[in-house]
Amino acid sequence: MPAQNTASSGEPLGVEMAEQAEAAVITPAMLKEEEQLEAAGLEKERQMLEKARASWDRESSEMRYKRLQHLLEKSNIYSKFLLTKMEQQQLEVGVLLSAVGMCRCAAICLVVLWSFVVLVWGFFLSCNCLK
Mention every residue, 6+ apart, whose C-beta is less than 8 A from residue 89: none
Q: Mean pLDDT throughout 18-28?
A: 71
Whether 1 maps to a domain, the answer reads: no
Helix/strand/coil for 25: helix
Q: What residues make up the domain containing 73?
A: 13-126
- Give tens-digit pLDDT for 77-120: 988 898 898 888 888 877 776 777 777 777 777 788 888 788 77
Residue 118 lies in a domain: yes
59 inside domain: yes
What is the band of 46 on the pLDDT scale with cuts at 50, 70, 90? very high
Q: In this structure, is residue 5 part of a structural domain?
A: no
Task: State the amino acid at position 77 in one-letter form.
Answer: I
8, part of any domain: no
In this structure, is residue 80 part of a structural domain?
Answer: yes
The count of domains in the chain is 1
In a domain, 2, yes or no: no
Between 78 and 122, residue with greater pLDDT? 78
Q: What is the DSSP annotation of 35-53?
A: HHHHHHHHHHHHHHHHHHH
* 36: in domain: yes
